[in-house]
Structure 1
Amino acid sequence: MTIQMSSQERESDEYDAELSVNLTGFGRFNIKVLILCGLIYMNTGFSISSVGLVMPSAACDFNLTTVDKGRISAVPMLGMFFGGYLWGCFADLRGRKKGLSVALFSHFLFEIISSVVPNYWGYLCLKFLSGFSISGQGVILFSYLGEFQPTKMREKILCWLEMAWSLGLIALPLTGWAIIPLNISFVSDNFFFQSWNLFVAICSLPSLFIGLWLCSFPETPKYLMQAGEDAKWAQVLERMYKENTGKSYAEYLEKVSKSGVDSLNERLLNAKSLAVKTEKLSKTNESMVISRIYKQSIALFKPPYLARTSIVCTTMFCLGSSYYALMLWFPELFKRFGDFEVKYPGESTSVCRISKYSTETNETVAIVNECPTHIQTEVYIHTLILGAACVPLSLILPLFINKLGYKFYLIVSSFIASAVTVGLFFAVSSTQNLILSCIFEAFSSVGMSIVLCMAVDLYPTHLRAMATALCGAFGRVGALIGNSLFGYLIDNYCITLILIIAAQLLACSVLGIFIPLEKKNKNVDTSTEKISTP
């Protein structure tokens, strides 16, 4: 509904919405939503990271230089930048579920088409659209998952998404290892289809299947309440309560009446009659949509949200620039180490030295017109280890988040990732590089997830998806710049590149101290009105 509400009315609605969810308890329904959102986040990490495995394999077919490879990894980030905030606006105005559905199905469509496009620039355009679509998954799912969870469980449940991201990073090299080395080749004058094309096509399928499963889930109760769709809101609460407790809706209403919150009790009892009125109003106020987007966007940059918006967006920019700059290029770095060690067995080297060696080798290859057609097995193994290294921290994060808090994890993880980046200067073998890469991947990915989890707690329902999307958009800008810098600097300005990444991560650690995140009471009594609100 697009009716304007006062800040006091919004606070009252926010309180009632929080209480209504808490009273449904925690059980089977919440776990199902967690699994769904975990699969979406796993698909996000899988799809974004798949670019790193495609680059070495597609280099021959597209005749790619290092700068060309940089474009392939950067263009999806450009699409994610343009898409992120628009998806957030869409989710706040039309619903979290609808936003996720459109994002999943459109991502499948663009990826499946990109798998058969034989032209480099056509492939780039589709990767831009794919990035645009996948950004919707990343920024909306945190709001979708968080708005179904009771207060005392929200932080822990949101943090479990980090495990899903880690599983996506593990599934990626296993899938690539099974498909890319296959002897599949169909080549004509205007078309080719290699094993890496099949890999891209298979990577698109999870979006389709997850999108179909999402159709069986409801919109979040908090969004429906804010939108004035009271009948649907009551139906979702009924479904949640029945699946979580096995009890009837009448018992839920009795529980609400005992809470002592008359406004919530009255609204639930009159849900059907109120819904008819508000649905008619929403249809006659479409002209107010643009005005609402503008006002909600401006609200993010006004007190009391200005300071937190500035800090979390800057933090996300630095994390995105550092994380994606290295993560998408790790397979390429592993390949370069492998090429060097095959030619010079037993000789020590470093990241910067293999980059110079790669430049010289590329020039020689261009002269003799040869092109390697296979990725060394070690590249898949190293990428698999990289994903597996994230699992321990992904388990620790939700287990101790209530005791240590978001800020602790953000500050510590960013500092360690910065120190490890500096450590790349001192790595003299592929094994040492792998160890440092694993530590970097584990701690920097935690930092990215923590910032998005924070956004759910830092903003109220009517601003939450938009704020998360804005935060994600700044992360994509950072990713775009980081990828471009890596492509242009790694061969000739390696030392400068590593110092930039380390400095950005250190800045994230410092900024984490100033994020205005209040510690909330997690011991919520869901049988009374004494309940904390976000």
Structure 2
Amino acid sequence: MADIDDVYHMLGFGRMQRIIFACCVLIQIYITNEQLGLSLIVASSACELQIDDHRMSWLMSAVFTAQILASHYMGDKADEIGRRKLILITGSLMLFTSLLSALMPDFWSFLVMRFLVGVFVTGPTVSMQTYLSEFTKFSLRPKVLNYVSYSIGLSMIYVPCIAALVKVNLPIYNAYTFSSWRLLILLNLLPGITAFIMLYRLPESPKYYLSVNEDAKAMAVLEQCCRLNKGKDVTLASLGVDSVTQPRLRGATIKRNCVARLWYESLPLLERPYFRNFFLTSAGVFVQFGVSFGLGVWMLRVRHLILQVEETETICELMRKHGHHKIELPTVSWEILNVIFPLLISPPSVLQCDLTFKNVKDSIYHGVFVLFAFILTSFLLMCIRRRTIIVIYLLTAALAGFLVNFVTNDTLILIVFLLLIVPPICSLRLTTSLLIDLIPTHLRGKAVALCLIFGRTGVLTSSLFIGYTLRQLCYVTFNGFVLAIIASAILILLLPSESKMMDNLSK
């Protein structure tokens, strides 16, 4: 009986894995399109749907609440019914509700549809990385998951470009118009439609089948993988594999109601031997989310202030002198919007419904830098371990945060801002991949989902912290983030080394 990771080592990263990789890239592009695209859609549809601050608050509160409430349940379902099945079901529902949202004639029906999109987007979000990693041998997982992350940068570049280019205003019936924001939603669906057509013909994870004692199905998937990778004449039997297994299999199923079962099946994450690693990664993700997304929004706002003030002083001095007059703290609506969709255009002082490249150029710059950082990560993974790269990125961000206290040149300020908020995005993906490797198959979906909830809480916490300290205690704001980033790096160093994971942890 062979260990499944040994079988993957024999099969390599072949045709089967490349098809699954292409599918997951499209899924990630679609997820990013939905999250980034909504901020642009809201800006473009504000006039037609009459979205004022009050309605904006309702819309973003609904989306935020949907993601928080659904994440843990989706993680549990991924472990119960399988990664592929959950992605197919929730992905199809996400496509359908997003399509309906593009057709809604008024704000309240649009609100309901976007709430449902927020619920269903959590399915692919918590399952996609796990699904791909469970078809990939241990040594390649960090590299492959990082390659998928390229799609985040690509989406962050082309979605704002499309939003600035699309200009449609086609009257349909009475006051109902097919406008640019409706077309933008439809264009954002295209990668998702392609991905889910591909996924329909792909198999379920054999590691999931082993975790639910479906050994025959696991062998069938591995046999299919073998023939695709090695040729039609090669079988598992010819490679000396007659059966497969993996350690740390699922225990007996708990027969309780849905809420109780969800609690009891998640309880092992809070016990030995998993609690320590789960806590360390979740605490690291809490900080990394807060810096990369929560702080990222405010950096764009502060940069907007700097460009308005013709003075050469440090950021904190400019905030002390001009912050009250030149920049306003976010209203409830824009703050919630920024918590969920951090890569926004700056909030307009007046209602603006026509997007131009001037409105979205900061988001495009951000996307270019993110793409470059993920490409750099790929090269670093060839010679450096994940944990080391994460620590390097976090210390780079901490140094940039420290330099915020001193830099005065506009260009240097932009560079320091990007060095502060972009490296944690890359380290975030690597930290999540560590969690996937540290947690057994039957708990993996729930662990990733709970970790993402910690991350979203980090965004909210950092946004509130900045809102209450940036003007009066500016130095406390940035240096507080520096200390938090350093603490996150220390937590990552406390995780097991990858050599120990390879020796003791089988996935």
Q: Same fold (TM over 0.5)?
A: yes
- Which of 147, 151, 176 aligns to 2:134? It is 147
Mapping of 1:375-524 within 5 angstroms?
Answer: 375-401=355-381, 403-421=383-401, 423-424=403-404, 431-483=411-463, 498=478, 501-520=481-500
Asked whether the 8 Å contact 1:110–1:127 carries over to 2, the reply is yes
Paired residue for 2:19? 32
Paired residue for 1:211? 196
Change (3 A) 1:370 1:466: closer
SS at match of 1:516: coil
Asked whether the 8 Å contact 1:111–1:127 carries over to 2, the reply is yes
Whole-Å Cα distance in 2 between the matches of residues 327 and 121 of structure 1? 30
Whole-Å Cα distance in 1 between the matches of residues 298 and 170 of structure 2? 26
Whole-Å Cα distance in 2 between the matches of residues 124 and 423 of structure 1? 42
- TM-score, scaled to structure 2: 0.80
Whole-Å Cα distance in 1 between the matches of residues 421 and 60 of structure 2? 17
SS at match of 1:389: helix
Asked whether the 8 Å contact 2:277–2:495 carries over to 1, the reply is yes
SS at match of 1:300: helix
Whole-Å Cα distance in 2 between the matches of residues 138 and 470 of structure 1? 12
Asked whether the 8 Å contact 2:290–2:458 carries over to 1, the reply is yes
The one-letter amino acid of 1:514's match is L
SS at match of 1:404: coil
Paired residue for 1:275? none
Paired residue for 2:237? 253
Whole-Å Cα distance in 2 between the matches of residues 388 and 154 of structure 1? 24
Aligned-pair identity in percent equals: 21
Residue 156 of structure 1 pairs with residue 143 of structure 2: yes
Q: Deviations over 1:385-415 (max 9, x none)?
A: 2111123321232333264222212222223
Residue 533 of structure 1 pairs with residue 502 of structure 2: no
The one-letter amino acid of 1:25's match is G
Residue 221 of structure 1 pairs with residue 206 of structure 2: yes
Question: By how many angstroms is 1:454 displaced?
Answer: 0.7
Question: By how many angstroms is 1:161 displaced?
Answer: 2.3
Whole-Å Cα distance in 2 between the matches of residues 321 and 230 of structure 1? 42
Question: By how many angstroms is 1:239 displaced?
Answer: 1.4
SS at match of 2:11: coil
Paired residue for 1:312? 281
- Which of 42, 63, 76 aligns to 2:63? It is 76
Change (3 A) 1:183 1:241: closer
Whole-Å Cα distance in 2 between the matches of residues 187 and 357 of structure 1? 42
Mapping of 1:169-208 within 5 angstroms?
Answer: 169-179=156-166, 182=167, 184=169, 194-208=179-193
Change (3 A) 1:99 1:327: farther
Residue 17 of structure 1 pairs with residue 4 of structure 2: yes
Change (3 A) 1:487 1:42: farther
Paired residue for 2:343? none
Stretch moving more, 189-198 or 169-178: 189-198
Asked whether the 8 Å contact 2:391–2:493 carries over to 1, the reply is yes
Question: By how many angstroms is 1:474 displaced?
Answer: 1.4
Asked whether the 8 Å contact 1:414–1:447 carries over to 2, the reply is yes
Whole-Å Cα distance in 1 between the matches of residues 409 and 357 of structure 2? 17
Change (3 A) 1:358 1:186: farther
Change (3 A) 1:62 1:414: farther
Paired residue for 1:112? 99
The one-letter amino acid of 2:194's match is F
Paired residue for 1:242? 227
Question: By how many angstroms is 1:95 displaced?
Answer: 0.4
Question: By how many angstroms is 1:485 displaced?
Answer: 5.9
Q: Deviations over 1:353-397 (max 9, x none)?
A: 46742449x9xxxxxx96444445234333222111123321232
CA RMSD of aligned residues (A): 3.9
Mapping of 1:344-363 within 5 angstroms?
Answer: 352=319, 353=322, 356-359=325-328
Question: By how many angstroms is 1:157 displaced?
Answer: 1.6
Whole-Å Cα distance in 1 between the matches of residues 270 and 153 of structure 2? 33
Asked whether the 8 Å contact 1:337–1:430 carries over to 2, the reply is no
Question: By how many angstroms is 1:422 displaced?
Answer: 5.0
Question: By how many angstroms is 1:146 displaced?
Answer: 0.8
Paired residue for 2:334? none
Q: Deviations over 1:122-146 (max 9, x none)?
A: 5444433322222222221111011
Asked whether the 8 Å contact 1:25–1:241 carries over to 2, the reply is no
Change (3 A) 1:487 1:256: farther
- TM-score, scaled to structure 1: 0.76
Paired residue for 1:5? none
Q: Deviations over 1:42-75 (max 9, x none)?
A: 222332223443454455554544x876775565
Asked whether the 8 Å contact 2:168–2:178 carries over to 1, the reply is no
Change (3 A) 1:428 1:71: farther
Question: By how many angstroms is 1:188 displaced?
Answer: 9.1
Q: Deviations over 1:192-236 (max 9, x none)?
A: 654234323432343233222210111011111222223322221
Q: Deviations over 1:68-88 (max 9, x none)?
A: 767755653432222221111
Can you give the 5+ residue segments of structure 1 that lack an aligned partner in the other structure?
A: 1-11, 258-264, 269-281, 363-368, 523-529
Residue 325 of structure 1 pairs with residue 294 of structure 2: yes
Asked whether the 8 Å contact 1:315–1:508 carries over to 2, the reply is yes
Stretch moving more, 201-210 or 31-40: 201-210
Change (3 A) 1:131 1:418: farther
Whole-Å Cα distance in 1 between the matches of residues 109 and 312 of structure 2? 40
Whole-Å Cα distance in 1 between the matches of residues 393 and 485 of structure 2? 9
Whole-Å Cα distance in 2 between the matches of residues 314 and 434 of structure 1? 28
Can you give the 5+ residue segments of structure 2 that lack an aligned partner in the other structure?
A: 246-251, 332-348
Whole-Å Cα distance in 1 between the matches of residues 489 and 58 of structure 2? 29
The one-letter amino acid of 1:309's match is F
Whole-Å Cα distance in 2 between the matches of residues 93 and 207 of structure 1? 24
Change (3 A) 1:470 1:248: farther
